[in-house]
Amino acid sequence: MPSLKEIRNRIATVNSTQQITKAMKLVAASKLRKAQEAITQMRPYANSLNKILNNLSANYSGEIESPYLQERPIEKVLLVIHTSDRGLCGSFNSNIQKFAYNIIQTEYAAQAAKGNVHCLCLGKKGRDFFAKKGFHIIGEEFTDIFTRLNFENVKKIGDYILKLYAEAKYDKVILIYNEFKNVITQILRQENFLPLERSTVQVQNQGADYILEPSAEEIIQDLIPYSLKVKLYRAILESNASEQGARMSAMDKATENASELLKQLRLEYNRSRQAAITKEILEIVGGAEALKEG
């Protein structure tokens, strides 16, 4: 049985840890509110942008040509994987890592065997995991995007990816991220980023008759890359909100576990203290009886 001093030290340690988890939960809750507001505002904007692009293309009589619509035999694949920079967020990182790794092993095993599956990791945990697995990591300057998250910085990532695809460095680009549903639920998503499917650009739609300046073709050519950057930004915001929700949930559970452990330790401390007092009383009584007999 541990001594009273050892139990007191454990109680002090657990108390200290509980204070940290409480603080981290509050910080995550604050960040989650901001992340929720950002993604709530972003979703209708992204949907409206897609509708505008679809309406324009549906009423455009010419053939839309864009390097981002070009389909090629899939030889080289780029995965854009969204994780976090830090741990202490439950299974958030391990789930996305396993999900992405399973996609590589099942859907792109042939390309992976040739070393033609590369990873652009947004978040240090993903970079570390896939680097250890032996995958080629690109765009490491973008790994810390979550520390400077805004549309201007995400546009740089979008430009980087679009340039690589236009130069035929990759034949397929996939986004892998967590879609935010609520604090305790995040949905793993695999989403094709490039090439942009023509069905999403050219749809059968009796849209409104627009008067366009400049031409419809020029507007569509500008909207396609912009809509792709908005799509990437939305995925990053979804992942950011999911991370904060997972972290808040994990810290809340850790705080509850610390409370349960404290109850057990205090009960053990009281039992040990009571046993020590009883032992001392027995020793005193025994000593008194020995003096009487003497």
Domain ranges of the chain: 29-250
- Would you place residue 223 in the very low, low, confident or very high pLDDT band (cuts 50, 70, 90)? confident
pLDDT value at residue 206: 44
- Would you place residue 158 in the very low, low, confident or very high pLDDT band (cuts 50, 70, 90)? very high
pLDDT average, residue stretch 207-227 = 71
CB-based contact 68:225 (threshold 8 Å): yes
pLDDT average, residue stretch 203-216 = 56
Task: State both tokens at 200.
Answer: 């999403």
Q: Which of 14-28, 73-87, 96-110, 217-231 has the lowest mean pLDDT?
A: 217-231
Q: How many CB atoms lie within 10 A of CB 41?
A: 10
Give the residue numbers annotated as catalytic, written as ranges: 89
* pLDDT: which is higher, 79 or 220: 79
pLDDT value at residue 290: 72
pLDDT average, residue stretch 126-139 = 94
pLDDT average, residue stretch 260-274 = 87
Task: State both tokens at 276.
Answer: 């020590």
Closest residue by Cα to residue 251 from 72, 62, 23, 77: 23
Whether residue 113 is predicted with pLDDT greater than 50 in this model: the reply is yes
Tens digits of residue pLDDT in 47-73: 888 777 776 666 555 566 778 888 899
pLDDT value at residue 204: 42
CB-based contact 262:11 (threshold 8 Å): yes
The strand pair at 172-182 and 185-194 is best described as: antiparallel
Give the Cα separation of 200 and 67 in Å (integer): 15
CB-based contact 229:71 (threshold 8 Å): no
pLDDT average, residue stretch 89-107 = 94
Superfamily of domain 29-250: ATP synthase, F1 complex, gamma subunit (3.40.1380.10)
- Would you place residue 283 in the very low, low, confident or very high pLDDT band (cuts 50, 70, 90)? confident
